[in-house]
Every structure is written in C-alpha cells, then in structure tokens.
C-alpha cells in the first residue's frame, strides 16, 4: 500500500504544488507512478527543502508515492473527475497556473534555483512572501543585501549627482555624513521571476531608504504583483 502521509507531515506549500504542477504539465495529463524517474527526482527535490528538514527525516514525507498522489490531485482539479480531497492550495495554484504551462515552468525553475540559498539568509518573521513564494523571496533578499552590489550602486549614484531615495526622495542630509550611506538599501527594479539566475547589474537596482524599501516589499507581497517605483509612488508616497 502506498504510504503518502505520516504523522507530523506539513501540508504542501504553494511552491511545492507549483513544482508538482510543472511535472503534471510535462506529463501531458498521463500520471506517472511512484517508480517513474521524474517522480523520484521531484521527491528528492521536495525532501531537500531546508525549511522542511525535520519532516524530511520521515520516510513518508514527500516520498514518490506522495508525489504521484499529488499529481492525481492536480488531475482531479483540472478535470473535475476522480479524487475529491484536493486542497485549497491545489485549487489556487491551478487557478493561477493551470492554463499556462510555460509560466508554470518559469516559476518552477525559479523555485529550484532559489532552494540553494534558502539556508544562507533567514526570512524575517514579519516579512511577507512575494507571490513567487518563500524560496524566491529569500533569494531576492539575499541578492539585495549583497555588500558588493550595494557598494557599486552607491558609488554610481554618487557619480551621478548624489544619494536620495528613489521613492520618497529623502537624501539624509541631516544625518552625520559618516553614517549617511547607512540609510540606503538596494532594491531590484525587475523581479527574479523575470531575470532568473542571470547576474544582477547595478542598472537593475533602485536605491531606497530603509523605510520605503520595507514598505515596498510589503506592498508587493500584499498585492501579489510586482510594483515599479513609479507605480509605488502613486500610493506609498504621501
């Protein structure tokens, strides 16, 4: 008998379901069994998610049987026939990606690429995830906190005329010059879901004060869509 669920196993996350949907699309509606190499490979990826490290010690966690079962769940959502115990996340992911295999694959690749950096930087407890999910949010934050990238961005702005927040225009001129640069942070103009794993360029970065940067991240997460600096100015700047 297939063992698909064990005591203490967490529910499938949005990111995990996107990866399962990517495989579902790749199979063309033909659901492979737990011995299929593609199913086994996805099982290994899901068991490697760092924030599931404790659960992954259990043989029942995201094992090939469980992955194959999730594919059947997704087929049921897609066709309305078969298993009835589909989850809310399954339905939400299908509503967003079900008719767009290319976009599913794009996000799936982003999630796989982001897994490698999940342990390198913690996601603050009060930081809301972008629509791409926790892995992409952490990868995004990790890049923005790159000391080298921040140093190069500030150097370029100084050459261009000075430092100021691209959102609220504060320049920190009342702060001790020795500490003035500390209020500024880098922010990606283009989301990782678009630029992927290509090398981030200084030209891809905006310069924001810490308050505006945090506010913009929160707005992006709440609206579940990327916001340009100009779009954000329309409702974030008083």
Q: Sign of the CA dihedral 130, 133, 138, 144?
A: negative
Residue 23: per-residue pLDDT? 96
Q: 51: pLDDT confidence band, cut at 50, 70 and 90?
A: low
Report which of residues 29 and 24 the model is more confident about: 24
Contact 82, 72 (CB under 8 A): yes
Mean pLDDT estimate for the chain: 80
pLDDT tens for each residue of 52-109: 666 556 888 889 999 999 999 999 999 988 777 788 999 999 998 999 999 899 888 8
Q: What is the pTM of this model?
A: 0.55
Residues with Cβ within 8 Å of residue 34, at least 6 apart in sequence: 2, 40, 63, 64, 65, 67, 68
Tell me: pLDDT of 40 over 90: yes
Q: What is the DSSP string of 95-127?
A: HHHTT-HHHHHHHHHHHHHHHTTTTTSPPPTTP
Residue 56: per-residue pLDDT? 55
Annotated domain spans of the chain: 14-115, 134-236
Residue 225 CA to residue 219 CA, distance in Å, equals: 9
Contact 55, 138 (CB under 8 A): no
pLDDT tens for each residue of 199-238: 667 877 889 998 888 888 888 877 777 788 888 887 776 5
pLDDT tens for each residue of 146-175: 788 888 888 988 888 889 999 888 888 888
Residue 144 CA to residue 124 CA, distance in Å, equals: 14
Report which of residues 177 and 197 the model is more confident about: 177
């Amino acid at each position: 008998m297939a063992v698909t669920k064990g005591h203490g196993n967490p529910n499938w996350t949005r990111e995990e379901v996107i990866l399962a949907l990517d495989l579902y699309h790749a199979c063309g509606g033909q659901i492979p069994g737990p011995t299929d190499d593609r199913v086994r490979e996805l099982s290994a990826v899901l068991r490697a998610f760092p924030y599931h490290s404790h659960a992954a010690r259990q043989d029942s966690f995201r094992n090939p049987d469980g992955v194959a079962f999730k594919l059947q769940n997704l087929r049921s959502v897609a066709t309305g026939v078969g298993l009835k115990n589909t989850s809310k996340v399954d339905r939400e992911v299908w509503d967003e990606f079900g008719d767009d295999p290319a976009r599913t694959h794009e996000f799936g690749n982003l999630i796989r690429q982001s897994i490698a950096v999940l342990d390198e930087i913690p996601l603050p407890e009060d930081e809301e995830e972008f629509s791409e999910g926790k892995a992409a949010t952490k990868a995004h934050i990790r890049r923005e906190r790159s000391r080298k990238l921040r140093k190069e961005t500030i150097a370029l702005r100084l050459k261009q005329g000075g430092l100021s927040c691209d959102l609220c225009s504060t320049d920190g001129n009342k702060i001790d010059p020795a500490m003035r640069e500390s209020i500024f942070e880098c922010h990606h103009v283009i989301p990782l879901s678009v630029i992927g794993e290509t090398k981030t360029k200084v030209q891809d970065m905006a310069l924001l004060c810490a308050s505006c940067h945090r506010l913009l991240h929160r707005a992006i997460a709440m609206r579940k869509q990327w916001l340009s600096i100009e779009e954000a100015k329309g409702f974030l700047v008083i």
